[in-house]
């Protein structure tokens, strides 16, 4: 009886409109592979969490409900490094409120952190049109980009989902903290 009641409750919450493939295709990797396209999370991945980009994302979305990593870890913002290497432990999919789009909650475990190693926190990743900020990126991509000795005047390419690749010039090297 309990299982039937739970199934009925889930059916009541399900959207009446069928969801198109575009609502979740970003999570299936069905789109043509562009090296710089949005990261598709996979359980077990090594990733880098970028706290400043996450903070900017939460501010731009005017999200007062989502608890940021430093809040979940019960520490000050300044105690986390700018770039924290993590392992993606688990994924939980959800329908983004007010849309038919699919988002994913990623449980990340900090690795190589002298203070917080092994501790976990959750971040929500949304389709790129709803979330233009990549604050969780593959560790390999981060390591490759930071291994290059960037200098002011260097030319790079930046991917915008709706506009493609753009050439850009490095204006200043502000450094980073090793993940």
Could you report the per-residue pLDDT of 101-116, keeping only the tens digit for each? 888 999 999 998 888 9
The stretch 80-93 carries a mean pLDDT of 95
Which pLDDT belongs to residue 145? 86
Higher pLDDT pick, 171 / 9: 171
Minimum mean pLDDT range among 28-37, 71-80, 149-158: 28-37
Confidence of residue 164 (pLDDT cuts 50, 70, 90): confident
pLDDT at 63 over 70: yes
- Cα–Cα distance measured from residue 134 to residue 48, given in angstroms and rounded to the nearest whole number: 10
Calculate the average pLDDT of the chain: 81
Checking if the pLDDT of 41 tops 70, the result is yes
* pLDDT over 80 at 73, yes or no: yes
Q: What is the pLDDT of residue 127?
A: 79
pTM of this structure: 0.76
Averaged pLDDT, 107-131: 86
pLDDT given for residue 154 in this prediction: 93
């Amino acid at each position: 009886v309990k299982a039937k009641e739970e199934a009925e409750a889930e059916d009541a919450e399900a959207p009446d409109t069928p969801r198109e493939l575009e609502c979740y295709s970003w999570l299936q990797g069905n789109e043509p592979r562009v090296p710089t396209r949005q990261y598709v999370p996979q359980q077990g991945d090594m990733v880098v969490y970028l706290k400043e980009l996450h903070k900017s994302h939460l501010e731009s979305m005017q999200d007062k409900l989502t608890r940021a990593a430093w809040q979940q870890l019960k520490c000050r913002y300044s105690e986390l490094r700018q770039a924290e290497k993590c392992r993606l432990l688990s994924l939980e999919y959800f329908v983004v409120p007010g849309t038919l789009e699919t988002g994913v909650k990623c449980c990340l475990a900090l690795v190589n952190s002298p203070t917080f190693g092994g501790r976990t926190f959750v971040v929500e990743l949304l389709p790129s049109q709803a979330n233009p900020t990549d604050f969780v990126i593959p560790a390999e991509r981060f390591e490759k980009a930071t291994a290059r000795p960037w200098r002011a005047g260097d030319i790079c390419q930046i991917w915008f989902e709706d506009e493609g690749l753009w050439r850009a010039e490095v204006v200043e090297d502000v450094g980073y903290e090793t993940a």
